[in-house]
C-alpha cells in the first residue's frame, strides 16, 4: 500500500525524538497534579496577592449548593435524633439526603466528585454507627480526620515546611523560595499554626462530648465548628497571605522601576 510521502509508524512504536509532550515527564506531571490539587483547596480559589471577596469565599466552600450539601445531612441527623432518639433513621436519613444531592448533580450534568466524596464519608460514619450500635460511632471519622489534620500541621511546622506555605508555593509557582523570605516564612508559619488551632479546638470540644455520649450537643457543635469556622479562618488566611505577598510584589515593582534589578 502506498502512502503520501510520510512513512507510517505502528501504533505500538515508541515516539520519535521531539514527539514527547512535556507532560509525559513524570516530574512535570507530578508537579502539575500537585498544583491542581492546591488550586482545589480553599485558599486556591484566590491567588495569594488578590483581594478576597465574599463571592470568592463562597466559591471556596463550594458555592451555595456546596454549602447546602455540607450542612443539610448533618442538620438532618440533629433533627431526627433529637425528635426520635433512634439510631437507624438518624444515620440513614443523612445518607439518603447526600445521595439525592449526587443524583441532582448528575441529572443536571454537574460535577459529582465532591458530592460523591461526601456520600462516602457520610455512609462510612453511618456504617460505623450501625455496626457498633451506638450513635457515637457516627462521629468517629470526623474526630479521626481532625486528629490527622492537626498532626499534619504540627509535623509540617516542626520540619520547617508549614503546610500552608507548601500550598501557597504550589499556587505561586515559587516552590520553596518563600522559605528564604523572612516575612513570608513568618506569616505562613503563623497561618499554619492557626489551622492547627482550629483542628485542636474541634478535638478539645468534640472529643469529650463523644466520650460522654452527649450526641445532640456533639452533632450541633460539629455543625457550628464546621463550615462557619472553616470559612472564617479561610478568610483570615487570605488576608494574612495577601498582605505579605502584595507587600513583596509592590517592593519588587519599586526596585524594578528604579532599575536596580535586571
**H helices within the chain, ranges in order?**
26-40, 54-60, 63-84, 87-107, 113-132, 140-158, 163-172, 182-212, 215-224, 227-258
Q: Cell numbers for 234, please give them.
A: 479561610
pTM, two decimal places = 0.77
| Residue 104 to residues 10, 30, 77, 109, 153, Cα–Cα distance (Å) | 45, 33, 21, 8, 35
- Rounded Cα gap, residues 231 and 249, in angstroms: 26
Q: Cell numbers for 63, please give them.
A: 458555592
Measured from the Cβ of residue 59, the count of other Cβ atoms closer than 10 Å reads 15
Q: What is the pLDDT along the chain (262 residues), one digit of tens a residue?
A: 444 444 444 444 444 444 444 444 554 555 566 666 555 666 666 656 566 777 878 877 778 888 888 899 999 999 999 999 999 999 999 999 999 999 988 888 877 887 888 889 999 999 999 999 999 999 999 999 999 999 999 999 999 999 999 988 888 888 888 999 999 999 999 999 999 999 999 999 999 999 999 999 999 999 999 999 999 999 999 889 888 887 555 545 444 444 444 3
pLDDT at 142: 94
pLDDT at 246: 77
Closest C-alpha among 194, 190, 185 to residue 150: 194
pLDDT at 11: 45
Residue length, the chain? Answer: 262
- Rounded Cα gap, residues 47 and 30, in angstroms: 21
**Cα 34 off chain centre by:** 13
Amino acid at each position: 500500500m502506498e502512502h503520501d510521502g510520510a512513512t507510517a509508524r505502528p501504533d505500538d512504536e515508541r515516539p520519535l525524538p521531539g514527539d514527547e509532550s512535556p507532560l509525559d515527564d513524570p516530574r512535570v506531571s507530578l508537579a502539575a497534579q500537585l498544583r491542581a490539587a492546591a488550586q482545589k483547596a480553599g485558599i486556591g480559589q484566590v491567588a495569594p496577592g488578590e483581594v478576597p471577596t465574599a463571592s470568592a469565599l463562597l466559591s471556596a466552600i463550594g458555592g451555595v449548593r456546596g454549602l447546602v450539601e455540607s450542612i443539610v445531612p448533618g442538620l438532618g441527623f440533629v433533627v431526627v435524633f433529637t425528635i426520635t432518639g433512634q439510631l437507624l433513621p438518624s444515620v440513614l436519613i443523612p445518607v439518603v439526603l447526600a445521595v439525592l444531592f449526587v443524583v441532582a448533580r448528575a441529572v443536571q450534568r454537574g460535577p459529582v466528585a465532591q458530592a460523591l466524596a461526601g456520600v462516602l464519608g457520610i455512609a462510612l460514619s453511618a456504617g460505623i454507627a450501625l455496626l457498633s450500635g451506638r450513635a457515637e460511632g457516627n462521629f468517629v471519622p470526623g474526630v479521626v480526620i481532625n486528629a490527622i489534620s492537626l498532626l499534619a500541621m504540627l509535623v509540617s511546622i516542626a520540619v520547617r515546611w508549614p503546610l500552608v506555605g507548601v500550598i501557597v508555593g504550589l499556587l505561586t509557582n515559587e516552590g520553596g523560595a518563600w522559605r528564604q523570605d523572612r516575612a513570608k516564612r513568618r506569616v505562613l508559619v503563623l497561618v499554619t499554626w492557626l489551622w492547627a488551632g482550629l483542628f485542636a479546638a474541634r478535638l478539645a470540644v468534640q472529643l469529650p462530648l463523644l466520650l460522654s455520649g452527649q450526641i445532640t450537643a456533639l452533632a450541633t457543635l460539629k455543625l457550628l465548628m464546621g463550615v462557619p469556622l472553616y470559612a472564617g479562618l479561610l478568610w483570615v488566611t487570605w488576608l494574612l497571605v495577601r498582605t505579605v505577598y502584595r507587600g513583596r510584589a509592590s517592593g519588587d515593582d519599586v526596585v524594578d522601576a528604579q532599575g536596580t534589578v535586571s
